Amino acid sequence: MQDRSLSRRTVLASATVAAASAVGVVGVAATPAAARQRDRHLKKIISRMSVEAKIGQLFVPYFYGASATSPSQFDQERNLRELGVRTVAELIAKYHVGGVIYFFGWTNNIRDPRQIADLTNGVQRASMSLPVPVPSLISIDQEHGVNVRIGSGATQLPGAMALGAGRSLSDARTAGRISGTELAALGIHQNFAPVADVNVNPANPIINVRSFGADAREVGRMVAAQVTGYQQAGVVACAKHFPGHGDTAQDSHTGLPVITHTREEWDRIDAPPFKAAIAAGVDSIMTAHLQVPALDPSNEPATLSPAILQGVLRGELGFDGVIVTDALNMAGVRTKYGDDRVPVLALKAGADQLLFPPDIDVAYNGVLTAVRSGEITEDRLDESVLRILRVKDKAGLFDGSPYVSPKEVDRVVGARAHQRAAARIADRTTTLLVNSNGALPLRRGQRKLLVVGASPAFPTDDTRTSVPELAKAFGELGYHTTHLATGRAPDAAKIDEAVAAARGRDAVVVTTDNVGPTSTQRTLVSRLLATGVPVVHLAVRNPYDIAHLGDVPASLVSYCWTEVELRAAARVITGRVDPRGRLPVPVQRADDPTRVLFRSGHGLSYDD
């Protein structure tokens, strides 16, 4: 069995190299001899590094500010308070960090594509000014769907579960390639995507629609396609969260979840997508902060478990790429050990990149102390640094200049061809669950619409929310729309206002977001149904909402509320596009979770 798996990996790796060569990806070693030659070059770089510089290469910290050298005074003060330096350039100079991660919003790293390019060039100038110049591997969480970091100016694409509903490997690969092409133009060469978790728990608070679905084989196929797309674009893909975060009802940001799968269940449910990612040549895999007793009876978090990282991931699955920890500021990995010991134990377990330490000075000096004491050998450091330099090399960071061109940013990021492709992909993901008596598409006379309901903010722009944006999408299609955002927990007054607003409308489109058994969104929908005005329900996140809503005449799922999904939903509701999405997860009945309301694969079209 193991020999067949290795053979499969070899075949797919060869295919990946061929495909990468065809699209001009730099840094891909075409032969074992070429790979050995590149390793010799990289080892020479490592040989010139001090121990301190090698340790720095392992860390991927956050920082505040939109500029590498001149962030706002407010951001400088935050950097000084939390990182001990004023700018990211100073952070790189002090700790020789091998990479940084960009975030939207709270770190103020991201405003628009031109600014991101300037920031990237500043980061690279700081890295190339080190005693041993090594370009930074700049990272981001640009999963799309509900988890987006770059919004304005960049192409927005359907997220994982929407792509899972589309069931198209070509669309998944294209989405990865478009996203990767735009990230590479911005100088961001590591994307912490795709999510390889199999969402078999509808109550999962952290994965949910970030997963491609509940079928391990289908998730694996989609993960492999996205890995190929990203890496064809010259971006380091990262399958996450190993050994699988899909069956938990606890968020590892706030606690330490336990996965109770048996070893047989893990092999059948959790492992296949990671095996598929490895077969597709994935460059990095991210760990999960959770316990899996079937894989490690000691109950160490997977991030700190030699049994899981070395025994299973490296030993059994044969992965020799970069192992990235999930963020080290999360509660799931800090429950047993101090912040100085967590990075040391992660390295001893087999990790290479140490992501987002809560205190870079404590973490860095913790590793330095472990190396000086002999707890971690310099040879062990060299192993991880070599893996990190390999992916930097594969991303083309050692070939020519690591800097990006503003003209290339303008040409590539948010290109019209990308936007059109994203819209076509989204059209194939919207899923029609219920269509009683041909309620959809809207009839020719149904021109006056009310759009009402939950209105979550766009992931990267809290001034834009889904209800007005959906109303705008209908308006652009020629409909006369009014809208009313009632929120996730509408009170009686807001529900009464919605009912009053429905009078005189030809149809009401009501959006829901994360409906539960006690949610007042249920009351809103039932009161709207009682008006006699035709009601169309759109779940703008979870496909599970419908189980709590009773007999709605028409119900759809968009899997997210970003513009690309909302516009596609409007096109489907109005009949411009035939619904083609199919549920990638089963939906259980609310009154009896042992019974299935809609099976995985369910999805109606207007021909049904």
Closest by CA position to 556, among listed 419, 421, 427: 427
Least Cα distance to 182 among 212, 222, 142 occurs for 142
The CB density around residue 594, as the number of other CB atoms within 10 Å, is 6
Is residue 253 part of the annotated active site? The answer reads yes
Whose structure tokens read 């190339």? 128
User: Percent helix, strand, coil in the chain (nearest 5)?
Assistant: 45, 10, 45
Among candidates 98, 104, 93, 94, which has minimal Cα distance to 66? Answer: 104
47 burial via Cβ count (<10 Å: 0-12, 13-18, 19+)? exposed
Among 215, 326, 340, 513, the one annotated catalytic: 326
Q: b or e along 518-552 (b: 16 or more beta carbons within 10 Å of the residue's beta carbon)? A: ebbbbebbebbbebebbbbbbbbbbbbbbbbbeeb
Cα atoms in the Cβ-side hemisphere of radius 13 Å centred on 118 = 13
Given 251, 253, 361, 410, the catalytic residue: 253
Q: Which residues are CB-neighbours of 379 under 8 A, at least 6 positions away?
A: none
Nearest to 430 by CA among 531, 285, 575: 575
Beta strands in 133-243 (DSSP E): 139-140, 190-191, 236-242
Dihedral pair phi/psi, residue 285, rounded to 5° = -135, 135
| Alpha-carbon separation of residue 300 from 204, 291, 516 (angstroms) | 21, 6, 33
Active site residues: 253, 326
